[in-house]
């Protein structure tokens, strides 16, 4: 069981990191290009069972959601929505590979 647990964590982390990288790449493509700074601050981090995808630019939220003076230009939400169906398959595949590695 310990082999399964560590194998599953390793596999899920690897697949989740790949998924997050794909979402980040799509978000970069979706982000509006004015100076390129917003695109350069988009990140994807995976820690244990959590994938965090966002942007560090101070104005990133205003671009995503808009303001009363500026129309929204969503770039993160559409990227996540595009790859969300893959996430379930990625997790299921990681669990199956971990079971195989553990001999279960």
Pairwise CA distance, residues 20 & 59, whole Å: 22
Model pLDDT for residues 25-60, shown as the tens digit of each residue: 999 999 998 899 999 999 999 987 788 999 999 999
- What is the average per-residue pLDDT within 59-81? 95
* Beta bridge partners of residue 94, listed in sequence order: none
Q: What is the pLDDT of residue 48?
A: 77
Of 4 and 9, more confident: 9
The contacts of residue 45 (CB under 8 Å, 6+ apart) are 20, 51, 52, 53
């Amino acid at each position: 069981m310990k082999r399964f647990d560590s194998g599953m964590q390793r596999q899920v982390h690897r697949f989740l990191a790949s998924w997050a990288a794909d979402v980040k790449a799509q978000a970069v493509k979706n982000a509006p290009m004015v100076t390129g700074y917003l695109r350069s601050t988009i990140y994807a981090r995976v820690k244990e069972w959590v994938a965090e995808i966002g942007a560090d630019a101070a104005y990133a939220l205003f671009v995503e959601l808009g303001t009363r003076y500026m129309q929204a230009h969503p770039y993160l939400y559409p990227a996540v929505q595009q790859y969300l169906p893959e996430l379930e398959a990625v997790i299921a595949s990681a669990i199956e590979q971990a079971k195989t590695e553990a001999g279960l």
